Amino acid sequence: MQAASSISMAPTSAAPVAPARPAKSRARMMRQYDLVERVRSYNPDTDEDLLNRAYVYAMKAHGSQTRASGDPYFSHPLEVAAILTDLKLDDATIVAALLHDTIEDTEATRAEIDAVFGQEIGALVEGLTKLKRLELVSREAKQAENLRKLLLAISDDVRVLLIKLADRLHNMRTLEFVPTASRQRIAEETLDIYAPLAGRMGMQEMREELEDLSFKTLDPEAYTVVRQRLDSLAERNRNLIGEIESQLSNDLQKNGLQARVYGRRKQPFSIWTKMQRKSVGFEQLSDIFGFRIVLKDVECCYRALGIVHTTWPVVPGRFKDYISTPKQNDYRSLHTTVIGPGKQRVELQIRTEEMDEIAELGIAAHAFYKDGLGSPTERLKRESSAFAWLRHTIAILSESANPEEFLEHTKLELFHDQVFCFTPKGKLIALPRQANVIDFAYAVHTDVGNSAVGCKINGKFAPLSSELQNGDEVEVLTSDAQSSPPSAWESLAVTGKARAAIRRATRTAVRDQYAGLGRRLVERLFARAKIEYADDKLKGALPRLARASIEDVMAAVGRGEMKASNVARAMYPDYKEERVARYAGKKGVAEKLKSPGGTARNLSAIPIRGINSDLPVKFAPNGGAVPGDRIVGIISPGEGITIYPIQSPALKDFEEQPERWLDVRWDVDESTPQRFPARIQVDNVNEPGSLAQIATVIAEHDGNIDNIHMARRSPDFTELTIDLEVYDLKHLSAIIAQLRAKAVVARVERVNG
């Protein structure tokens, strides 16, 4: 977050000196009967005995523990419960709030909570308990694992989320008593995860307070400046705000509509982020104040919109209908901006009472304390798009490979505003802003994303990386020939779902390649040893190999983590490994590879088709190899096979490691030619146009230049090292011959690294 000095706004008075550490707090604790009365005010059927028992149990469990403020620790769970009574939550949630730190911070156990208060409340408290003694190195990994546990608990019971948010809100309200280093970390975590999570659940009041409390901690100077400006502006515009409220009410009443109209100003953090996002000063913002018009039903909302639009001029492009197309967090309203009194821009939100309650309380607006409506979570599955989104997101996130990846995807999913796009059949797809067609494809279905090869946006062909806008109709073009996406898509995708799916598909494709290589190595060894191989027989030997599946075994062999001979020994305990003859350098290799021209007929040799084959194959880094070369494969653990021509001097490095040598043969499909890497060295005369002549020869002979390195060896000559892509040895030889015929070329040689 940038400092306030980086923008063109100064406080109306001198910036305050940073306050000293606050004095210890001695806030009055809410008493037992106060809590019961708060719950009874909205739920006359509350179980008073249950609330009283929980109050006493938690107070005794926390005993003499104190908070950083000096208050009894029990004041914290009590305040968390009070916040939840403002949301009118059920008895079980209030009791779990009172008990939420008992398992983690006292001698209480889950079994004891279950015995005293029942398994439902025990499960809620367990879901809020952090994992202890995590054997993880980084703080981020610990944070991610605790967040993963919390989210999984939330997917089972949404009340875990409501308690956690109330817990975080009270901790943020008392953050000034926490040491500075921890204060910064807690505020960052709140701004990164908990405030966006509250927003995604539609709980805007809680989200705004969490954001402002975090902002105040992370950048107190900027917070103070924005707050002062807002207070000053509110004072200047006090009469104008009252005038707009009165005029709106009168205009609606004249047309037979009874409405509740009130103005509210945006919060400091919302103002600050808009200034940062749009790179504007405070004075340039025109929508600091907004007005809400609350009516009895949807028909009245659209009537009110018509009255407003015929009374005041409309600001073009500022109308949004979230009633017909609700946001994913269940938010519904009509948004419009008009030019009101004094030629001021007036931002309006028009909604019903029910929409207004959901806009402020989100999923907490569903009356959990009412009987006969099923469990809160089951009810929300039926009633709330926000909770459906959360459960779906958690299912995706749980597949992340490691804690850091999980944390990254969680933040991606929580943080963005939305755009709404459509499939050709009219299905609505909600995506974060700046999302592209790749994200859209994976939002439709993982298989659509994996097989996407092109797209049309509003009927026109466009790149898959195209950023989407509200209202776009997107058609994703797929191909059965593509079962796995390019790994580069991961850096283009915006959504956690798309990134996770691409990463998973890439890992699967690589694993399949290693499994394919491993299977060939195993079958080759069995053929050479003249023993029978069968998957069924290997399945019975899996326990001896400590692998869960045949594919796991094959992938381990392909990666070099397990020897093929170990597989044979697991299946046939009497198997004795054959002795591997040591290769005597290049000459020994040449003797072993008897086939002329490199087209070996040895069926046990592994066929090589190129880098796009079903094997993890790459070519010698300093010179490559092309069909027509006699070749040998070197297997490297975790890297697959590297193909070398037998004349490569690099093979000397592997003379003492005969177990890494593989018999390989070319198996090129002439109907679908592909290029292979080769390197040549050219000494050319230093004269204008010489490089162009060399490039022209290569292009005219259908070669492709991948890279050129130039070195001036003398005043008259430059040495060019050119990495080419050619079809085979014959093709490479033809290019070399044509280059030698050029007057500007003194020498051409192929390089074998």
Residues identified as active-site: 104-105
Pair 435, 466: CB distance under 8 Å: no
Buried b (16+ CB within 10 A) or exposed e, 387-425: bebbbebbebbeebeebebbbbbbebbbbbeebbbbbee
Question: Which of 442, 447, 503 is closest to 474 using CA atoms?
Answer: 442
What's the token pair of residue 566? 């170990």
What's the token pair of residue 163? 């308690």
Helix (H, G, I), strand (E, B) or coil at 496: helix
Q: Rounded to the nearest 10 degrees, what angle do helices 110-117 and 119-127 cross at?
A: 140
Question: Which of 557, 566, 481 is closest to 513 using CA atoms?
Answer: 557
Amino acid at 719: E
Q: Where are the alpha helices (DSSP H) in 109-200?
A: 110-117, 119-127, 139-156, 159-173, 180-189, 195-200
Pair 444, 428: CB distance under 8 Å: no
Token match 């879901």: residue? 127
CA-based radius of gyration for the chain: 35
User: Which residues, other chains included, contact 526 with Cβ-Cβ below 8 Å and sequence gap of 6+?
Assistant: 532, 533, 568
DSSP secondary structure code for residue 619 in this structure: E
Positive or negative, the Cα torsion across 730, 735, 738, 740?
negative
Q: Which residues pair with 633 in a beta bridge?
A: 643, 662
Token match 């003797």: residue? 591
The burial class, CB within 10 Å (0-12 / 13-18 / 19+), for 321 is: middle
DSSP calls for 27-44: PPPPPHHHHHHHHHTT-T
What's the token pair of residue 419? 């755009």
